Amino acid sequence: MEYFLLTVGFALVLAYLGASILKKLAIPQTFGFMLAGVVLGLTSILSEETIHELQFFVALALGLIGYNIGHELSNPNLKGPRIKKLIIIVIIEATAAFALVSFLTYFLLSEFAVPLPFPTAILFGAVASATAPAATADVVWECDCEGPVTSSLMFVLAADDIAAVILTNSAIAFALWNLDPSTMTLSMVLIEPIIGILASVVLGAIAGLLFLYPLKQEADRGKLLELEIGMVILLIGIIELINSYIKTLGFHIHISDIFAAMVFGYIVSYKISDETVEHQVSELLERIMSPVVMIFFVMVGGRMAQLLSTSETLLLVVLTASLYLIGRTLAKYFGASLGGHIVNEAPEIQKYLGGCLLCQAGVALGLSFIVEETFIELGGNAELMGMLILGVVALSTMILEMVGPMAVKKSLRAAGELPVEGVLFEPDEVRIFDISRDGPHCKTNGNQENSTIDDDKIEV
Amino acid sequence: MQALYTPEVLLLLGIALVLAYFGAEIMTKFGIPKILGFMIAGLVLGTLGIFNDDFRTFLFPIVDLALGLIGYNIGLEIRKEVFRGQTRRMGTILILESILTFVIVTVLAGYLLGAWHIALVFGALASATDPASTVMVIWERKCKGDLTDTLMFILALDDVIAILLADGAIAIAILFYSAPGTVTIIGAVGSLVIDVAASSAIGAILGFVMVYFVNREDDRREILEFELGMIILIVGLMSWLQLSAILSCMVFGFVVGNFVSREKDPVSHTLKVIMSPIVMIFFVIVGASIDLGVIANLSVVLLTIAYVGGRTFAKYFGSRVGAQLTKTRELTTKYLGLCLMSQAGVAVGLSLVVEQNFLSLGDAEAVFFGTLILNVIALTTMILQVFGPVAASEGLRKAGEYPDDLCGTDEIHTIESLEDNTEPVDDVSDTS
């Protein structure tokens, strides 16, 4: 604990340096953060103990990531029938990724005689269906894209994370049952994840409805930011408390904090009609989140380095990761295309949506972190499973973070939604929302909500 | 300090943030700064036993971080431009005002406590003034004039004096409690000098590193994480080396604020948004540290009254005498003292540093005094938060530097470090 801040500070500085070097090569920051984590992990500055102490960052980061995804989910431009079509596409591409990755990794794992190949493969499949809205959204904002693919993209990206959370929770229950069949019955395996998901929805909805009250009272949305963050943290805290209580009762119900946060975020943004305000708030939230999320990625990198440098199964991890990547890419691409055909979407969507679904980051990593945490406590085969999953997902995330955004750009350009001069746009020009620029006395309506966010809370 | 992570941590943090928010909301309705709301929320949580000592120990990194951020903020506020004016005149006022406060509060506290090494700590802490809430008043109303200029100078620099005095007072107290012979006076003075010099040097070096990156980057917001990381790094480094984090961060902030090339925005406004939950938690923790058992005691109440009274008197007359000696304009002379009443982050932060230092001494008396100091400072901060800003806006208005017309067009360049204070206009107009 003594060197806690020293380590964190060092990690942040190093992560920034890593990211700024990579940015020159047009590689997203996330990769740099993870790379910094790898360096810190290998030099054992980031010890296993420190990572354990930082664990509440994982919960915090996941909650905030989930909340942001919930915000992305509600899009006023999408109307009822369109959403139905998109949901079908999501179901098809997510299921395709799940099935194909499970299938491929199952063969590899049983070839290598890894214990319990089937549940492990299912877990891989479940995590594979998640996509990262943040990295993709950056590309879209940066280039000012517009068109059918762009408008449906964010929804698809956010919605298949829901699928991933549900699948992973079920897969964890299934794997636990496989590890020790005596503790659970099959019906419990089927029912408990459902209860967990339902409970997350209920808790998230309660938080959302409670937050709506001050939202209506306060005209200035920006002023609620601290309360908003407080509510997210509170929600995650309550869920963690309930989860640990349930565990002492001997059930395996796991209420998903990330899912509850998504529901919370969805309700909040659904109730806000003003789109520009909404966009500003979610951007500001993202800013506040960024150090937390950054530490999260550094942790993942560090953990990955520890796992890979100590495990004798490095070859297995690399092979599994490559199969995982191949299976996921194919399934996402063709799944989206097939889904587009079935629901008769615009031809651009049929052709190019799949290419935009390759990014993988926070959700997949967070889920594999949860898997690792759950399984490492059990020891033995389970520990191996947990390490394998985190190692593979972390490795594949690093690769997808490089490839994914490029694929998004390419696909959008091919779909004709990337303005020709778009590349010239600097990211900061599009980010209209700057809480700094409007000086102290601008009272124009446009920046009222942003300019007041940090007034007297910073009296220090 | 091995407090392990439990699921309750996030729950408690969430409760603290939500409750603090509502506490601040209520305070805003009465036109009182939000800090009081945060502290009352903490007081409630602490009294109910929800925020227990274990949890506070767990949150120590947040306290350290908040101290670093507070120091950084003060450093950013010290602009080279403030030295441009009549430095000698303002410097005289500054020194008279802060030294008088130090002496009077020390004498009063020493008389009441009978323990002079503790009284010195009280005196040192009393000399700190909170720039934020006063600067905010100036910003909201776009005050301009001689009083405003002098005020900006004094507000920025008397915290530096307070930090140095507190460092010295802590060294003396440690000398007092250590076994005779182990620490010599020369050794104590030497380590104090080394402490101050090393803290400043590290802060300055890292500050120039930071300046290099700020100048290179086009978009200031892109280096937000780096900035935060640097601050966390300094704080971590300082606690490892057992130096003063708040001083080091202040020097860091000064370098960053003043050496970034002209066309760049030296202040990261987004950082302040990120800071606000941390500072919120900080004040909640301070509120939770208040032990009603300690406060509900006649001698503590007397001490509090003496501290507030002595500090108010000394700040007022110290600045008045200083101004008269330097033949400052009449209106400034009259009303400068009124604007120096606020007390917040620096004093509270330093009292937490004192408490941590005293607790680690292990001596029963030291532990008792550590708790006492923290409690008294927390209590006085709550009182001064109510009156300080009111007095400041009153003083500025009486000096005629408080335009009623809000739609002026001039920009104030010397105080770029605080931003966007559109909103609190309402708070102040309610109270004044």
DSSP string, B239-308: HHHT--HHHHHHHHHHHHHHHS-TTS--S-HHHHHHHHHHHHHHHHHHHHH--HHHHSSHHHHHHHHHHH
DSSP-derived letter for residue A437 is T
Average pLDDT, chain B: 75
Whole-number Å distance between alpha carbons of A378 and A413: 48
**For the ranges A271-275, A448-452, B309-313, the one whose mean pLDDT is highest:** B309-313
B272 in contact with A, Cβ within 8 Å: yes
pLDDT of res. B404: 57
CB–CB of A231 and B236 under 8 A?
A: no
**Which residue reads 């923290």 in tokens?**
B374
Residue B205 to residue B216: CA distance in whole angstroms: 17
Cα dihedral sign, A112-A115-A118-A124: negative
Euclidean distance between the first and final Cα of chain B, in Å? 46
Cross-chain Cβ contact B419/A233 below 8 Å? no
Q: Which residue has the tokens 């996030």?
A: B10
**Nearest alpha carbon to residue A276 among A161, A146, A433, A98:** A433
- pLDDT of res. B119: 81
Residues of B in contact with A443 (CB under 8 A): 422
Cβ separation of B21 and A226 shorter than 8 Å? yes
Please report, as a single letter, which amino acid is at residue A195: I
Q: What are phi and psi of B377, to 5 degrees?
A: -65, -40
pTM reported for the whole predicted model? 0.77
Strands (E) across B307-391 are located at none
- The values of phi and psi at residue A17, to 5°, are -60, -45
Task: Round to whole Å and give the CA distance between A322 and A333.
Answer: 16
Residues of A in contact with B60 (CB under 8 A): 1
Band of pLDDT at residue B409, cut at 50, 70 and 90: very low
Closest Cβ opposite residue A460 in set B10, B65, B279: B279
What stretch of H or E contains A202?
helix A186-217
End-to-end Cα, chain A, rounded Å: 26
Of the partner residues B65, B226, B423, the one whose CB lies closest to the CB of residue A16: B226
B273 CB neighbours in chain A (<8 A) are 225, 284, 287-288, 435, 453-454
Q: Which of B:123-162 have CB within 8 Å of A? A: 130, 132-133, 136, 139-140, 142
Kindly report which listed range (A147-151, B341-345, B365-369, B383-387) carries the lowest average pLDDT score: A147-151
Encoded tokens for B34: 């939000």
Q: Which residue has the tokens 């309610």?
A: B430
The mean pLDDT of A12-19, rounded to a whole number, is 79
Nearest in space to B224 (alpha carbons), one of A231, A128, A319, A290: A290
Please, which residues have CB within 8 angstroms of residue A261's CB and are 6 or more apart in sequence? A62, A63, A64, A65, A66, A67, A70, A204, A232, A235, A236
pLDDT, tens only, A310-364: 666 777 778 888 888 888 888 888 888 887 777 777 777 777 777 777 778 778 8
The amino acid sitting at A390 is L
Measured from the Cβ of residue B43, the count of other Cβ atoms closer than 10 Å reads 24
Assess contact for A438 and A447: CB atoms under 8 A. Answer: yes
Distance CA B311, CA B325 (A): 21
Q: Looking at the predicted structure, is the pLDDT value of residue B310 above 80?
A: yes
Q: Which residues of B touch A36 (CB under 8 A)?
A: none
CA distance A440 to chain B (A): 4
Q: Chain B contact for A305, CB < 8 A?
A: no
- A90 close to A164: Cβ distance less than 8 angstroms: no
Do residue B14 and residue A8 have CB atoms under 8 angstroms apart?
A: no
DSSP calls for B376-422: HHHHHHHHHHHHHHHHHHHHHHHTT-S-S-----PPP-TTTTS----
Phi, psi values for residue B16, rounded to 5°: -60, -45
On chain B, the residues whose CB falls within 8 A of the CB of A243 are 7
Q: At what angle do helices A314-342 and A381-414 cross, to 10 degrees?
A: 40
Which residues of B fall within a CB distance of 8 Å from A297?
none
Q: What secondary structure does DSSP assign to B45-110, as a single string?
A: HHHTTSS-HHHHHHTHHHHHHHHHHHHHHHHHH--GGGGTS-HHHHHHHHHHHHHHHHHHHHHHHH
Stretch B62-68: mean pLDDT, rounded? Answer: 83
To the nearest whole number, what is the mean pLDDT of chain A?
74
Q: How far is A291 from chain B (nearest CA, A)?
A: 6
Question: To the nearest whole percent, how much of chain A has pLDDT over 70?
Answer: 77
pLDDT at A428 over 50: no
Contact B328, B147 (CB under 8 A): no
Tokens of B336: 């400068």
Residues of chain A contacting residue B133, judged by C-beta atoms under 8 Å apart: 456, 459
Neighbouring residues of A296: CB distance < 8 A, sequence distance ≥ 6: A57, A58, A61, A62, A362, A365, A366
Mean pLDDT confidence for A142-170: 76
Quick one: pLDDT at residue B322? 79
With an 8 Å Cβ cutoff, are B240 and A3 in contact? yes
Torsional sign, CA B234, B236, B240, B245? positive
Instruction: Say whether residue A59 is in contact with chain B using an 8 A CB cutoff.
Output: yes
pLDDT at position A222 is 64
Residues of A in contact with B414 (CB under 8 A): none
Neighbours of A37 (CB within 10 A): 30
Q: Which of residues 40-69 of B touch A (CB under 8 A)?
A: 60-61, 64-66, 69
Chain A residues lying within 8 Å of B42, measured CB to CB? none
Quick one: pLDDT band at residue A70, thresholds 50, 70, 90?
confident
Mind telling me how many Å the CA of A13 is from chain B's nearest CA?
Answer: 5
Tens-digit pLDDT profile for residues A192-204:
778 888 888 888 8
- Report residue B381 as tokens: 């901060």
How many of the other CB atoms lie within 10 Å of CB of A31? 25
CA atoms of B32 and B427, how far apart (whole Å) = 7
Predicted confidence at residue B402, as pLDDT, reads: 65
- For residue A78, the distance in angstroms to the closest alpha carbon of chain B comes to 32
Scan residues 312-331 of B and list those with Cβ closer than 8 Å to A. Answer: none
pLDDT band, residue B181 (cuts 50/70/90): low
> Which tokens hold the place of A74?
């509600």
- Most confidently predicted of A234-243, B83-92, B267-276: A234-243
Nearest-CA distance B327 → chain A (Å): 32
Q: Copy the structure tokens of residue A55.
A: 């664990």
Contacts of B9 in chain A (CB under 8 A): 56, 237
pLDDT in tens, B107-129: 888 887 777 777 888 888 888 88
Question: Which has the minimum average pLDDT: A179-193, A335-349, B362-376?
Answer: A179-193
Q: For an interface test with A, which of B275, B276, B385, B412 has the most A Cβ atoms less than 10 Å from its Cβ?
A: B276
Q: CB contacts < 8 Å between A and B, how many?
A: 254
Q: Per residue in B242-266, pLDDT tens?
A: 777 888 888 888 888 887 766 666 5
Q: Which two tokens stand for residue B404?
A: 């009623």
Confidence at A455, pLDDT banded by 50, 70, 90: very low
On whether the CB atoms of residues A223 and A284 are closer than 8 A, the answer is no
Q: Does B31 touch chain A (CB under 8 A)?
A: no
Taking CA–CA distances from A454, the nearest residue in chain B reads B273
CB nearest B12 (choices: A4, A235, A237): A237
Residues 6+ away with beta carbon under 8 Å from A3: A50, B236, B240
Say yes or no for a CB contact (<8 Å) between B232 and A8: yes
- List the one residue out of A382, A337, A331, A385 whose CA is nearest residue A360: A331
Q: Tell the burial category of A420 from Cβ atoms under 10 Å away from its Cβ (0-12, 13-18, 19+).
A: exposed
State phi, psi for B238 to the nearest 5 degrees.
-65, -40
Which stretches within B242-268 are classed as H helix?
245-259
> How far away is chain A from the Cα of B372, in angstroms, using its nearest Cα?
22
- Decide if pLDDT at A432 tops 50: no
CB contacts of B270 in chain A (<8 Å) are 287, 435-436
Q: CB within 8 A of A272, min separation 6: which ones?
A: A215, A221, A278
**Exposed e or buried b per residue across A7-24, where buried means at least 16 C-beta atoms within 10 angstroms of its C-beta:** bbbbbbbbbbebbbebee
CA dist A306 and A301 (Å) reads 9
State whether residue B243 is helix, strand or coil. Answer: coil
Reading the block at residue B126, the tokens are 């009393």
Interface check B430 vs A, CB under 8 A: no
